Amino acid sequence: MDNKTCQEFKTRRDNLAQQMAENSVAILCSATLKTRNKDVEYKYRQDSNFLYLTNFDEPESAMLILKNKNNNYKFMLFVRPSNQKEELWQGRRLGINEAKNKIGADRVFSIKTINKKLPSLIKNKNSIYCNLGECGTQDKKLINWINLAKNESSYESFALHQIISLNFYLSKMRLIKSEYEISKMQQAADISIIAHKKAIQNCQVGMFEYQLEAIIINEFKKQGLDSSYPPIVASSNNACILHYTKNNQKMINDSMVMIDAGCECTGYAADISRSYPVNGKFSEAQKDIYNIVLEAQLAGIKKAKPHNLYSNIHKEVVLKITQGLLKLGLLKGELGQLIKNKKYKKFYMHQSGHWLGLDVHDVGDYQINKKSIKLKKGMAFTIEPGIYISNNKNIPQKYHNIGIRIEDSFVITDTGCKNLSQNLVKTIDELESLSKQNQNK
């Protein structure tokens, strides 16, 4: 890491240590390797909290922040030691010495010594900050270390009297993004935009959904990046399945396709959705539904500014969608009662967005004491209204099998919000024009 990046991660550890009680320790373990089948493993993805504090992406690791009674702290790492034989099969490791130099730890130990060293390090601490209850394997490790620490101490000298949720603090910290984090999210959005544009330009009747998925992933891989979640490429009625991921249907004429896809840059996710006709030309019915969703998103964006309630975005989106459905005759009744009774949920059943960051559905409270939180500079999130109409016999057939979602990634600024994916087309004219670039070759 360069000095600027090292300082970014040190600042995060400083912030956490400042909130910890004196004479305490924070413990985090890396993510475990996941088996796909038999002896084949999934590609490794580091635990987001561990990545947030260390920028270290190797498995079989652990980190400690040890705060003393004078409110100073030490940052310690346990990592896999260099081993030529194992690295021949499993890949290169940073090793103990390089981890100290590149990650900025005060001390680095071999992970093989953790059961011996860690209990001695924590036995005199009053409080332990950790995340019990998230992973059974990690819970067993933590409980074992606490028990070993207790066994090393007499009843009178064993100091531990509370275990505190580390997530409580990290969730608040991760909710507000730094300039460094926003820059990484912008990079992820920029590459995701290129991928979406390629898909729009190359979409053809008769293609399979997985062929569009391949175009998306190819653009990510060309930049050395991975998807931040499995891409959704949903045509026709599949777009009415919110998290459809089979991506195996042939795309037919006069149908829509909805692509929900984003990549991640150094762990930071983009999340973008676009919906458009497979043949490049919107029907009148498709225009009707699309324009409602687009108007709802644009209205929601206007509510995304500092000091506004986060819930106001969803309320505005619901209002515009219900108004649009009422105007088309797909809902009947009085606007206020339809919203109060949530009749819109037949067509729009999810929230208008979610936090975005190291996890695509990032950490952070939406409410405190059942009251919506207020938006602050640095909060990052999506705004993603949608309308989904399957084969409902009570709905005119021209609207059947239309599923539309429009989603962009945003971050709150001093005066409003910045759309990280603003360079991706989304009006009907823009989408049709981009599609024609391929058809007119």
Burial 397-433 (b: 16+ CB within 10 A, else e): eebbbbbbbbbbbbbbeeeebebbbeebbbebeebbe
Reply yes or no on whether 354 is catalytic. yes
Beta strands in 230-346 (DSSP E): 232-235, 256-261, 263-265, 268-269, 272-277
* CA nearest to 435, candidates 261, 250, 199, 251: 199
Q: Which domain holds residue 366?
A: 176-439
Q: Per-residue pLDDT for 438 more than 60?
A: no
Report residue 152's pLDDT band, with 50, 70 and 90 as the boundaries.
confident
- Residues 124, 19 share a domain: yes
pLDDT of 349-387, one tens digit each?
999 999 999 999 999 999 999 999 999 999 999 999 999
- Residues 156, 43 share a domain: yes
- Residues 225, 296 share a domain: yes
Of 2, 36, 39, 155, the catalytic one is: 39
Reply yes or no on whether 254 is catalytic. no
d(C-alpha 70, C-alpha 163), whole Å: 20
pLDDT of 73-128, one tens digit each?
999 999 999 999 999 999 999 999 999 999 999 999 999 999 999 999 998 899 99
Query: Of 139, 156, 174, which residue is a domain's last?
Result: 174
Q: Per-residue pLDDT for 156 more than 80?
A: no
Query: Of 174, 200, 222, which residue is a domain's last?
Result: 174
Q: Residue 257 maps to which CATH number?
A: 3.90.230.10
Q: Per-residue pLDDT for 206 more than 80?
A: yes
- Residues 139, 20 share a domain: yes
Query: Of 122, 140, 174, which residue is a domain's last?
Result: 174
Of 52, 388, 399, 408, the catalytic one is: 388
**What local confidence, expressed as pLDDT, does residue 439 receive?**
58
- Residues 180, 165 share a domain: no
Reply yes or no on whether 243 is catalytic. yes
- Residues 79, 19 share a domain: yes
Reply yes or no on whether 174 is catalytic. no
Reply yes or no on whether 405 is catalytic. yes
Reply yes or no on whether 12 is catalytic. no
Reply yes or no on whether 366 is catalytic. no
For residue 405, give the H/E element and its range. strand 402-405
pTM: 0.96
- Residues 220, 146 share a domain: no
Of 58, 264, 271, 362, the catalytic one is: 271
* CA nearest to 269, candidates 362, 177, 357, 194: 357
Quote the percentage of the chain above a pLDDT of 70.
98
- Residues 248, 114 share a domain: no
- Residues 60, 109 share a domain: yes
Q: Residue 24 maps to which CATH number?
A: 3.40.350.10
Mean pLDDT, the chain, as a whole number?
A: 96
Reply yes or no on whether 106 is catalytic. no
- Residues 274, 134 share a domain: no
**What local confidence, expressed as pLDDT, does residue 225 receive?**
98
d(C-alpha 6, C-alpha 104), whole Å: 7
* Total structural domains within the chain: 2
**What local confidence, expressed as pLDDT, does residue 155 receive?**
61
pLDDT of 303-314, one tens digit each?
999 999 999 999
d(C-alpha 114, C-alpha 357), whole Å: 31
- Residues 271, 200 share a domain: yes
- Residues 197, 91 share a domain: no
**What local confidence, expressed as pLDDT, does residue 392 receive?**
85
Of 42, 86, 92, 243, the catalytic one is: 243
Reply yes or no on whether 350 is catalytic. yes
